[in-house]
Amino acid sequence: MVGWPFLPRALPQNETGRNPAMMALTIPPDTPSYFDEGALIGVLPTQPLDRVLDYRAPEGGCHLGAFVEVPLGPRKVLGIVWGPGQGDYDISKVRSVIRVLDAAPMRDELRTFLEKAGGYTLTPLTAMLRLATRAPGLGDPPSMRKIYRLGDTTPDRMTDARTRVLDVLRDMGGLSLTLKELAETAGVTTSVVKGLAKLGAVREEDSPRDTAFPTLDPTYAGKDLTDDQANASATLRAAVATRSYGTTLLKGVTGSGKTEVYLEAVAECLAQGRQALVLLPEIALTAEFLTRVEARFGALPAEWHSGVTVTERRRVWKMVGQGNAQLVVGARSSLFLPFRDLGLIVVDEEHDTSYKQEDGVLYNARDMAVLRASICHAQVILASATPSLESWANADAGKYQKLELTSRFGDAILPDMRAIDMRTEDLPGSSWISPTLQRAVQKRLENAEQALLFINRRGYAPVTICRACGHQIGCDHCDARMVEHRFLKRLVCHQCGETKPLPTVCPSCDAEDRLAAVGPGVERLAEEAQTLFPDARLAVLSSDMFGSARALKAEIETIAQGGADLIIGTQLVAKGHNFPLLTLVGVIDADLGLQGSDLRAAERTFQLMRQVAGRAGRADKPGEALLQTFQPEHPVIRSILSGDEHSFWKAEADERRHAGVPPYGRLAGIILSSTDVQEVFDLGNALARNDAPLRRAGAHVFGPAPAPIARVRGRHRVRLLVKAPKGTPLQAALADWVAPFKLKGELRMAIDIDPQSFY
């Protein structure tokens, strides 16, 4: 049962027979905020039970929203006091809460958000709750660590090292340091400090590990803004000062100062005494960005992303809840932190597809940010150089305010964009860098400037084929070809992650040494570039080539400082990094994104090409972007080159309006999977036949059809697509529709509201 994103009514229901995902969407206003000892209360456990259970309030009573430990069968589990008990469970069997944990009770605002977000994404409440309690050791007493201050004795025997330690502590004027901090500052080993502690010259004390974050000063170091920026900043500051909900789309080319402007809104929010959250795509969460925040406010913000240690997560979670972290800079999951008084959410690079979580709970952090802000009376800023059509349409319809920064800051100008018509280039079969592009790169190398070659494909080659029999090596578990990764020396399935060594013998015909790589990936492009430019220092940026996000970010910083002449990169490089020395971007295959059947193929290509091109010419040197294409007359390519955004969006909007698809209509994807292919199709057909609840609501179902990737990890996949006019109560109709179907055995069903991917 665990891991099902959505269990229609086949899931165990609570005592009232209600499906918790469908429960009352707002907390009733007459809900008491405190329950006396012995009162009947409803507790939502963090276990995948998907129901609120009745308990009695413990000795001393408890608050609504309190984190509690409750007995469940023979076990003890963590839960939240969600409201009064239902009272329809055998009253003599109701047990008592074991204890109330030492954590701030969950606020009404967050509980309402979880209920509404769960209702929107059709996710059971316990799964939503788990998103909001992803901090380890919540129930533990505060953990302690050792800190060190100056003691009151002086050791008989002084050494250089000992003197340095005592000097550092004297300079601290009574403040304390951790062992590591003290040893590092004094330039000694930790054993020197410990030795001094034994002698009493240094005092060792216990102090809680979860300490408050340093105070940020909103007036610390504001920049002189350009007129354009100052206007935008004033509007945003005024919006934040209203302490009410509103969303603003902040649009501006890369380098126009969007970050500077939204940091002013953050400053206003902090000055109001409220908390702020800046959401970034995980990969854009760099040390460079944090340093910028520190330069603006005089101290570092709290961080929340996959690279944050377990202890630090716990600290952030607690301090955010106590109001002792004013600003969080984080990835999408920071939206579920227990803010005490959230006044502003910035979603930077709002168009980025990584805001959509594609496994577990299928939610879009951009949309959920707007939902949370509307509940907690906060402002939202959606920042992007290339906004999504959704946000563009919302601004157009007047739902969002729109601000635009039109020019780049300083002397930087937008790169000159041109197509390289590949039909007229003289290029041998297994090469991808055209002579025109080669000459352009050569020029940059001679001028000691950086060039970037972009291809949106990881690995060495997308296909490995046997020249003897034509067999293409595929994954054993998925309906996908294995991608050669020379760097890892393995074939990798990009669907399930399965890898195998590069074979020398064809698995189909046993021919020896006849396997050949077909098509380019970023590694193969790097190989070609190194041959063409043997003296250039090459840096390859692809997500799979670094052991950790930290290593990758370190490499990006080295490159930004001039540590490479030629950068070969995937999509990764398009995301908000500053490469001040970069003046040429070469896109190897501008047509690649145009091929899919994806609803957003044109939009994505347009955004990606413009983002990548925007990497060039940020500082004082003008940049150039060259797009290799076989279809220079394609409307999308033409609008990318002309930079006529408005007509691109208008054409795209017209097409989508005509087709009745988002943002002018609603979609939901239904993904069924099973190890048994017959079983999935049977369920898919049964769903399609019994579509009355959908039709009643004005919605239509398409399919079932095998998913574009029809088998992943050994499970057969079938998709249905539900389409409805805007304004349809789609979630309710979907819930009614799937309710009668029981998911037996291996069958799984996931419902994806507003799907972003259709694989």
Site of interaction with ligand ADP (CB under 6 A): 223-226, 229, 252, 254-260, 409
Residue type, 633: E
Minimum Å gap between C-beta 224 and ligand ADP is 6
Other beta carbons less than 10 A from residue 696's beta carbon: 11
Minimum Å gap between C-beta 247 and ligand ADP is 18
Total residues at interface with Zn ion (CB under 5 A): 7
Minimum Å gap between C-beta 404 and ligand ADP is 11
The partner in contact with residue 493, picked from ligand ADP, Zn ion, none with C-beta cut-offs of 5 to 8 angstroms by kind, is: Zn ion
In the complex with ligand ADP, which residue's Cβ is closer, 261 or 699?
261
Minimum Å gap between C-beta 252 and ligand ADP is 5
In the complex with ligand ADP, which residue's Cβ is closer, 117 or 625?
625
In the complex with ligand ADP, which residue's Cβ is closer, 18 or 223?
223
The partner in contact with residue 257, picked from Zn ion, ligand ADP, none with C-beta cut-offs of 5 to 8 angstroms by kind, is: ligand ADP
In the complex with ligand ADP, which residue's Cβ is closer, 229 or 756?
229
Contact residues for 699 (Cβ-Cβ < 8 A; gap 6+): 666, 722, 723, 724, 728, 730, 733
The partner in contact with residue 495, picked from Zn ion, ligand ADP, none with C-beta cut-offs of 5 to 8 angstroms by kind, is: Zn ion
- Please tell me the total number of residues recorded for the chain in this structure: 759
Minimum Å gap between C-beta 223 and ligand ADP is 4
Distance CA 239, CA 260 (A): 17
Minimum Å gap between C-beta 507 and Zn ion is 15
The partner in contact with residue 391, picked from ligand ADP, Zn ion, none with C-beta cut-offs of 5 to 8 angstroms by kind, is: none
Whether 327 contacts 293, CB under 8 Å:
yes
Distance CA 294, CA 358 (A): 32
Minimum Å gap between C-beta 342 and ligand ADP is 22
Distance CA 416, CA 613 (A): 9
In the complex with Zn ion, which residue's Cβ is closer, 236 or 478?
478
The beta-carbon contacts of 355-359 under 8 Å, at least 24 apart in sequence, are 355/279, 355/281, 356/756, 356/757, 357/332, 358/756, 358/757, 359/5
Pairing between β-strand 342-348 and β-strand 275-279 as defined by DSSP bridges: parallel
Question: What sign has the CA pseudo-torsion 727, 732, 738, 744?
Answer: positive
Q: Does 496 bind Zn ion (CB under 5 A)?
A: yes
In the complex with ligand ADP, which residue's Cβ is closer, 226 or 311?
226
Minimum Å gap between C-beta 627 and ligand ADP is 21
What SS3 class is residue 666? Answer: strand
Distance CA 410, CA 618 (A): 9
- Phi first, then psi: what are they for 306, rounded to 5°? -65, -20
In the complex with ligand ADP, which residue's Cβ is closer, 251 or 457?
251
Q: Does 277 bind Zn ion (CB under 5 A)?
A: no
Q: In the numeric block, which tokens belong to residue 402?
A: 């729109």
Q: In the numeric block, which tokens belong to residue 501?
A: 């060594």
Say if residue 517 is exposed, middle or buried (CB neighbours under 10 Å; 0-12, 13-18, 19+). buried
In the complex with ligand ADP, which residue's Cβ is closer, 249 or 375?
249
Minimum Å gap between C-beta 474 and Zn ion is 8
In the complex with ligand ADP, which residue's Cβ is closer, 291 or 508?
291
Among 478, 697, 743, 751, binds Zn ion (CB under 5 A): 478
In the complex with ligand ADP, which residue's Cβ is closer, 257 or 662?
257
Minimum Å gap between C-beta 720 and Zn ion is 23
CA angle at 95 for the pair 92 and 100, rounded to the nearest 5° = 150
Among 342, 475, 625, 697, binds Zn ion (CB under 5 A): 475
Distance CA 100, CA 65 (A): 11
- Phi first, then psi: what are they for 412, rounded to 5°? -65, 135
Among candidate residues 124, 112, 129, the one with its CA nearest the CA of residue 12: 124
Among 422, 493, 522, 567, binds Zn ion (CB under 5 A): 493
Distance CA 433, CA 223 (A): 42
Minimum Å gap between C-beta 285 and ligand ADP is 14
Among candidate residues 65, 63, 56, 131, the one with its CA nearest the CA of residue 97: 56
Distance CA 194, CA 358 (A): 49
Q: Does 498 bind Zn ion (CB under 5 A)?
A: yes
Q: In the numeric block, which tokens belong to residue 600?
A: 């957003």
The partner in contact with residue 334, picked from Zn ion, ligand ADP, none with C-beta cut-offs of 5 to 8 angstroms by kind, is: none
Whether 754 contacts 661, CB under 8 Å:
no
In the complex with ligand ADP, which residue's Cβ is closer, 230 or 310?
230
Identify which range of 40-48, 363-371, 488-496, 601-609 contacts Zn ion by CB under 5 A: 488-496
Identify which range of 387-395, 404-412, 486-494, 600-608 contacts Zn ion by CB under 5 A: 486-494
Query: Which residues are 128's β-sheet partners?
Result: none
The partner in contact with residue 530, picked from ligand ADP, Zn ion, none with C-beta cut-offs of 5 to 8 angstroms by kind, is: none
The partner in contact with residue 252, picked from ligand ADP, Zn ion, none with C-beta cut-offs of 5 to 8 angstroms by kind, is: ligand ADP
Binding site residues, Zn ion, CB under 5 A = 475, 477-478, 493, 495-496, 498
